[in-house]
Copies of this chain bind each other. A is one copy, B any other.
Amino acid sequence: MSTETRAVDAGSPGDGGPIRVAQVEIRPSEGLALVAGRAVSLSVRELELLSALALRSGHVVARDELFSNVWGGPLRSGDRSIDVYVHKVRQKLEAAAPGWSFIHTHIGFGYRFAPEPMA
């Protein structure tokens, strides 16, 4: 047993079922996420991004894979949309749960979703 990899209590991974990881619950059908009991309202893209990451909680999701999952096409070189949206989602999550970080950067690879106390 390692660490993560199974803290996800999702219904159907692919579609609209709620996703739960630790103190985070995502309800794609409502455009809503609950973090530490607090409601966080997210836009469509933000929700899709967060879902794509949370569905692989504990694993690093590659940049291009993330992009094709959320944006639905190949990642053009120079496109910074991912960075911008990761930033937006981070802001909202950390505003709801101060002292915790959720989306971790793995330079050259991608991002990893995992609720962890800040260093």
| Interface of A toward B, CB cutoff 8 Å | 2-4, 25, 27, 30-32, 34, 37-39, 41, 43-44, 58-60, 104, 106-110, 112, 114, 116
| A44–B114 touching, CB < 8 Å | no
Closest chain B residue to A106, Cβ basis:
B31
Closest chain B residue to A105, Cβ basis:
B41
For A31, the chain B residues whose CB sits under 8 A away are 60, 106-110
For A114, the chain B residues whose CB sits under 8 A away are 39
Instruction: Report the separation of the CA atoms of residues A106 and B34 in the bound assembly, to the nearest whole angstrom.
Output: 14
| A108–B39 touching, CB < 8 Å | no
Per a CB cutoff under 8 Å, which of B3, B25, B30, B37 touches A60? B30
Instruction: Report the separation of the CA atoms of residues A112 and B33 in the bound assembly, to the nearest whole angstrom.
Output: 12
Q: How far is the CB of A5 from chain B (nearest CB, A)?
A: 9
Instruction: Report the separation of the CA atoms of residues A114 and B39 in the bound assembly, to the nearest whole angstrom.
Output: 10
